[in-house]
Chain A
Amino acid sequence: MDFFTAQDQARRNTGRLVLFFSLAVLFLVVMTNLLVMMFFGYYHSLHGSAAGPATFDWQLFCIIGLGVVAVVASGSLYKIAALSSGGDAVALMLGGEPIFADGGDPDQRKVINVVEEMAIAAGIPVPQVYLLKESGINAFAAGFSSSDAVIGVTSGAVRHLNREQLQGVIAHEFSHILNGDMRLNIRLIGILHGILLLGLIGYRILSGTSRTSGARKGFGPLLLMGLGLVIIGYAGTFFGKLIKAAVSRQREFLADAAAVQFTRNPDGIGGALLRIGASPDGSLLKNPHCAEISHAFFGQGVEVFFESLFATHPPLAARIKRILPGWDGIFPSGPNVSSVKDYPDPVSEEAAGGAGLGLTGAAMVARVGQTSEADLGYARILLNGIPEVLVKAARDPFAARALICFLLLDSDTEVRGRQLQYLKSSADRGVHAETLKLLREGGALRPEQRLPLVDLALPTLRRLTEPQYRLFLNNLDTLIEADGRISLFEWCLRRIVLHHLHKVFGRPAGRGPANGDLAQVAGACVVLLSLLAHAGNSQTGGAMAAFAAARQELGLEIELAPADRVGLPELDRALVDLERLAPQLKARLLTACGACVTADGVIAPIEAELLRAVSASLDCPMPPLAI
């Protein structure tokens, strides 16, 4: 399933979620009413009042209904608010500890290397990795978007899986990130919390009354009420599990398929599933909070009795059979042997494939939200080629700021001198010295290595405090303006950094309804395509040809705007409008951009970077183009 269809599907699933949720609340209202009527019946019979036929009191029904809705709503809203700060909140809720590449454990470093490689191959910022202290083999991905995504792995997984199996599991999690499943997951947790709240209250009442000497008359009804609420709570849980299963089960097969597609290696994810089957703890998790998010894990995290109805994941054997059709049904117990070494040999440039040469616009768009073995190989080459000192800087919040400043240093010595002088006087203490150090030891950086370095640095920059972040942004802006103009690369860098960090530091704006009409944003399309056309073609003839190719893909009646009328501020404004397009329209727009860029048969580095920045701003991650 391609990225844009998957995004559409995720939105539709949200609709189904709301439907099921409403049904569940209705059911809860009815059951609570029954309970209350029984309660009053008991009360009346106890006090011997004339118990006539129970008349159905609409007023009471409405009030109780409102009461139930209010409880469920407040529970859901509370939980969604608690998780609103993004993936990190979910990971911390599960008791996860962030792990970093400069920690001492080689197994942990292996996990981080796998995650970094895959993120660069997919064109998204590297997610922060969290460790869960569980012996089961499992992993999860959480967050609202790729900007605040986190990946969690259990210590069981770190210890028992080799590199190719880890890669398979991480690829499965990445497909969740790339398909937009995670936002749905967070909403799911919030909603379920509300439904379960009634049962939790009942449980508390029950445990409260049972502790006191229970036989006193006055507590009888209260005990009954507690018991009743617990029963209702089970009804809520029933619906909750049904909802989870309905929404999440099919996705797991799809994610497995995507993992195989990304890595072109069924033994990776297949091997991981086999390990889970062979291991005594399987993929089970002990932390009770994990049950709330069981649908977002790689493997089945909680025991279920009626596996078919309530399981959030398909049965293990079924999953393995789909991936490894020749499986003989036996789980191999024994040391973990893999066909791939733990630290694979560097891939040669030829072997990685020329991803990017000879691509049409449509083929480029087909790569959005996906990655492939060739991309992974290319990512590994890129990573290995970047000077070690710069990679280390990207992983440390203090030096990451200097790294971005370093990337913005101009090649013109006079401008560079001014930029460095500015850093010395106004930047945070130490940034100037660190930038000089990177300049000295960084060596020559190839153009295609610059944006992947930014991908590496983004999760580190997320760790800045808000005042530090504001100062950092100020420095960025001043550095860019040092030569009195904004170059295209500077704009791309600033755009990507701001787009991702703003989601973490700013108040994330809720996604409004998607815009289904391309004609409404025609002006914005003109700006974007004209700028792309002019950027890649120094003469107007070439620009017109490129624009014509784009217009054909887009299907709108638009004209190329002259170069001096489409500047970067206009593009910034245009992207705000274009961000809200429906997924299928974004696909069309990106195809048009791709056609524009490939019209002259040559993809210049700046065109590739522009395309990267634009697709990142539209939340359509694109793998790096090998040029």
Chain B
Amino acid sequence: MAIAILVLLLVVGGFGLYLIGVFNTLVKLRNRYKNGFAQIEVQLKRRYDLIPNLVETAKAYIKHERETLEAVIAARNSAVQGLSAAAADPGNAAAMQKLSGAEGNLVGALGRLNVVMEAYPDLKANQNMMQVSEELTSTENRVAFARQAFNDQVMEYNTYKQSFPPVVLAGAFGHGTDATLLEFADSAAMQSAPKVAF
């Protein structure tokens, strides 16, 4: 009788330790991707801060294309909002999609601005413009890097969460939904923009 109780206690104990291990790993992986998002936030903020400078410099030269410039500023502002919503809950499907959409709009608006700037060689040669453009490209590369890291970490979390046996426990531990990756529309259009080709 005593033997049975002891064996039962041991089995329960061992199982308990395993449960603790799974819980802690889930928490660790989730914290990791949330921290990973913070890196994206830093770079995106840098990017959004550069855009008003870009628009101001362009304004002096481009007198007649007001809508294009305003569209850029509007897209930038809604992207800033999307970013703070996403930062509050990284990995949340709705927030990630909203940010992704806002970024897409911004890329489109900037693309149109570039097309317009083609017609102003003076603007292209402007020192300030060249500097801002180069910083923008560099920041975008860093955004891509941070986004790649974030997505790697989200994948790690999702894969662990979906594997057996954590898949059985994850829901009970408060890790019910998978985290969502952050996909940006391919900004190849930005890459081919004449900024770097000055």
- Measured CB to CB, the residues of A under 8 A from B are 36, 40, 60, 63-64, 67, 70-71, 74-75, 78, 81-82, 201, 397-398, 428-430, 433-434, 437, 464-468
Contacts and interface: CB of A to CB of B under 8 A. Distances in A.
Contacts of A74: 13-14, 17
Given A428-B145, A465-B149, A468-B148, A433 B21 contact: no
Interface string B1-42: 011001001100110010011001000000000000000000
B133 interface: no
A468 B17 CA distance: 33
B6 A63 contact: yes
B56 interface: no
Contacts of B152: 465-468
25 contacts: A60-B2, A63-B3, A63-B6, A67-B9, A67-B10, A70-B13, A71-B10, A71-B13, A74-B17, A78-B21, A397-B145, A398-B146, A428-B145, A428-B148, A429-B141, A430-B138, A433-B138, A433-B141, A465-B149, A465-B156, A466-B152, A467-B152, A468-B145, A468-B148, A468-B152
A201 B10 CA distance: 12
A383 B197 CA distance: 35
Given A63-B6, A398-B142, A467-B152, 11 more contacts: A60-B2, A63-B2, A67-B9, A67-B10, A70-B14, A430-B141, A434-B138, A434-B141, A465-B152, A468-B148, A468-B149
Contacts of A468: 145, 148-149, 152
A109 B156 CA distance: 32
A503 to B, nearest CB: 19
B153 A465 contact: yes
Contacts of A464: 149
B148 A67 contact: no
The 7 closest A-B pairs by CB, nearest first: A430-B141, A465-B152, A398-B145, A465-B149, A429-B144, A67-B6, A398-B142
Nearest to B137: A433
Nearest to B9: A67
B156 to A, nearest CB: 8
Q: How large is the interface on B (under 10, 10 to 19, 20 to 34, 35 or more residues)?
A: 20 to 34
Contacts of B3: 63
A398 B147 CA distance: 12
Nearest to A471: B148
Contacts of B145: 397-398, 428-430, 468
A394 to B, nearest CB: 16
Nearest to B148: A468
Interface of B: 2-3, 6, 9-10, 13-14, 17, 20-21, 24, 137-138, 140-142, 144-146, 148-149, 152-153, 156
Given A74-B13, A430-B142, A466-B152, A82 B24 contact: yes
Interface of A is mostly: helix
Contacts of A433: 137-138, 141
Nearest to A201: B13
B18 to A, nearest CB: 9
Contacts of B137: 433
A67 B2 CA distance: 12
A437 B137 CA distance: 12
Contacts of B141: 398, 429-430, 433-434
A398 B145 CA distance: 7
Contacts of A397: 145, 149
Nearest to A98: B35
Contacts of B10: 67, 70-71
A416 B148 CA distance: 28
Nearest to A67: B6
A63 to B, nearest CB: 6
A60 B4 CA distance: 11
A131 to B, nearest CB: 15
Nearest to A85: B28
Nearest to A469: B152
